[in-house]
Amino acid sequence: MADFIPRRWGDRVNWLNNVKTKIATHGPTLLLTAGQITAIQNRCTTATTAIQAVTTKENELEAAIAGRTTTIDTEFGALRTEFNALKTNSAMTPAIATDLQIVGTTTPFDPNTFKPELSGSLVGGGIEIRFKKGPTGGVNISTRLRGQTAWTFLARDTSSPYLDNRPLAVPTTAEIREYMAYGVVDDAQIGLQSDIVSVTFGG
């Protein structure tokens, strides 16, 4: 028999709110005392508060990650430009460049250990997935809803960003989408799975 309590957190909040409201109406008919009705409502309130506390923190984390990505892209880009210019300064010496740690090193590409970098953020009516593919030809992006175990292939993309504009699985019910990717070389998937990126999508 299927469980009557929904699995997804957003659906659980809606279910708890419905029980909290409707038990006041149906409780007397079911011969529940005022104390029993209040106890059920209090359980609903406590559970809802716990779920929403985590949701708030998840949203804050996602906003912080998106902010970090934007800031790092801007500031590191500016620093790279400034230090590349400094390297042409007539007063620059190898010792100074080494001390400032602005001398690049080359790491041989290993397809077995390559791991793409992902970030995700809300853009308009969809989710923008930015990725760093390194020397590969592109990435295979897969997705799932939080709580699911199986991944669904979404797309192969060769140029960042990728826009996921699929509708909500359940209309008007927000969901947390998770994304991961693998590198692709000559149409073959290679390397290690990227870190998982989570984005809350409300439609």
13-22 pLDDT, tens per residue? 999 999 999 9
What percentage of the chain carries pLDDT values higher than 90? 83
Domain locations along the chain = 8-105, 117-201
Q: What are the backbone dihedrals phi and psi of residue 5, each rounded to the nearest 5 degrees, phi first?
A: -85, 125
3-class secondary structure, 110: coil
Q: Are 62 and 200 in contact (CB under 8 A)?
A: yes
What percentage of the chain carries pLDDT values higher than 70? 99
Mean pLDDT of the chain: 93
Q: What would the two tokens of residue 75 be?
A: 């500031």
pLDDT in tens, 141-185: 999 999 999 999 999 999 999 999 999 999 889 999 999 999 999
- 44 sits in which H/E element: helix 34-86
- Polymer length of the chain: 203
End-to-end CA distance of the chain: 31
In CATH, which of 3.30.930.10, 2.60.40.10, 3.50.50.60, 1.10.3720.10 is domain 117-201? Answer: 2.60.40.10
What pLDDT is attached to residue 106? Answer: 74
Q: Report the amino acid identity of residue 8.
A: R
125, burial (CB in 10 Å: exposed 0-12, middle 13-18, buried 19+):
exposed
Quick check: 1 pLDDT over 70? no
pLDDT, average across residues 25-37: 97
Q: Are 153 and 145 in contact (CB under 8 A)?
A: no
Q: Pick from 71, 171, 176, 186: which is nearest to 122 by CA?
A: 176
**pTM for the full predicted model:** 0.54
Quick check: 75 pLDDT over 70? yes
